[in-house]
Structures are given as structure tokens and as C-alpha cells.
Structure 1
Amino acid sequence: MPDTAARIHHMTEADTDQVSALIHASWVRTYGPLMGEERAELESAKKHRPEMIAADLKRMHSESFVGEAPDGRIVGYAYAKVEKGYCGSTGCMSRRPSRAAGSPPACCMP
């Protein structure tokens, strides 16, 4: 049976063209029915340019990951930014019962 599982890895600048195309297609498919396909195309073309996605790779306290199919196609993308007092896109999930009452979870500590 052929390997069909995507491999997850940190995104590199070499991935930006494919990631841009993936985000664009997903964005138009999602928002086209709500705002009209032409407007969705234009908005995504402005917001999801490869150079803008590449700039995210250089932002401090952020991470970008891609899912790569065995044939080299990028089939998934995730971006997370950590802000002071807020970790990732879902907030702090690390809860240690032994931490002092009122202290921040371990993932938010400097």
C-alpha cells in the first residue's frame, strides 16, 4: 500500500508559493459564497501574497507548519503567534495542579 500520509514540518521560504495558493483556494471557497467570488478573489490576492506569508516566518514568537504529501504538494498549513499572557491560538492549556494559586500557567511564564 502506498504511503499517503502527510508529513508535518516547520514551514520554510521554499513553501511560501504553495502555501499562498493553498490559502487562496481555501479562502475563496469559504468566503466566495458570502461576499461574492470576485471580491473574495481580490481580497485574498491582497492578503495572501507569498511575500506576506514569508514575512510571517520572520516574526518573533510565531511558528508556521505545513503538511506535505508524499508527492511534495503542501496540503495543510498552520500558523500560531504567542503574545504576552496568551499562548497560541487556543490560549494556555497547560494546567499544573501544583502551581501557586493566581500564578500563570507554565506555558505563559517568561
Structure 2
Amino acid sequence: MANVIIILILAAAVGYGIYSFVHHLRHGGGCCGEHDAPAKKVKAADTNKNHYAHRLVMGVDGMTCQNCQRHVENALNALPDTLAEVNLSAQNVTVWTKADADEDALRKAIRNAGYLPLRTTEKE
């Protein structure tokens, strides 16, 4: 009788594992937006970095995947006269601005996207 119970428990565990695997394949497995289509990329109006006089690099905590990267870039690229590129492996974002960067506005945009802005590491 104990053997039957063990076999039923193992069968249930294997069944759940197969269900989880199929669910992951169908719906994705990202940390954010797991069941949603990826957000459309927001492009800055001007993508030529030579047109931007100021650059700063700021750390961002909480990014773990390309969806996270796109959320942060979209939040910053939606700001006027701003171009942003996230380096996911370095956990930072480089932001180019035409006027002197309003760091408070940049930090607020990152927070509103759901991430934690860290200190600025470079500023030109």
C-alpha cells in the first residue's frame, strides 16, 4: 500500500512538472510582463547621439531580463530631448540629454517604471 502512495505522489509531481513546462512555453517565463505581449519600444525622436550635449550613467536596480530593459528605456525615451540605452549586464542606463539632465525627473521615470535608480556614476 505504501508503494502505491509513493507512486501516486511521484506521478503527481511529474504531471505538475510537465504542466509547468508547457505553461512556460506557451506564456513565457519572464519576471515582468510574463503573460503580456512585450511592450513596444519607445524610440526617442532624435536617435543621433551627436545631437545630445550631456551624458550621464546611472545604476538601476531590479532589472533582470530584456522586458525590464525595455521598460526602463521606454520610460526614459518618452521624456523630451532624452535618449537612453540600458546595459542589462552592468545594471545601468546611459542617458543622453540635449539640455542639462534633470536627474530628479530621470529618477522619477525609472521609479515609475518599477525599478530603483541608484547613484550616478558618470556625468558629462
Question: Please, what TM-score do these two structures have when normalized by structure 2?
Answer: 0.23
- Which is richer in strand? 2
Question: Please, what TM-score do these two structures have when normalized by structure 1?
Answer: 0.25
